[in-house]
Amino acid sequence: MSTYVKRSTILKAGLGVFVKHACSAGDILEKSAFIVSSNTPDDIICHAFAGNTTAQSFIVFGNCSLTNHSTAQANTTLRCSTDERFMEFLATKDIEVHQELFMDYGEDTVF
């Protein structure tokens, strides 16, 4: 795993995800397993991704589930493989060593 968790650079945001090594756009930063649930309790972090037309939620394991939102600073995205039940956490631009990772959650994503 090429990521780690520590206090975010965003004031009052809590934790953030950072890279251990410099990365290039397109690099896979993490590959995380997930489970699918149609009845997810409120106390579990859920990810309902845009384009998902069913009542399913994805519960993603690994550091990528802790990535903070930023439209302006977004430098990662997720690619879902439902057949193999994993999420790939990808760099969308070059990222410097120890830089915080951000993701644009999008308008249709619910947490």
Q: Which residue has the tokens 């590959």?
A: 31
pTM: 0.78
- Give strand pairing partners of 36: 58
Angstrom CA distances, 56 to 25, 36, 41, 83, 110, stand at: 30, 6, 12, 15, 12
Residue-level pLDDT at 61: 84
Overall average pLDDT of the 80-109 stretch: 85
**pLDDT at residue 109 greater than cutoff 60:** no
Residue-level pLDDT at 6: 96
CA distance 57 to 22: 32
User: pLDDT tens digits for 24-82?
Assistant: 999 999 998 888 776 655 444 444 444 444 555 777 888 888 899 889 999 999 888 76
Residue-level pLDDT at 41: 52
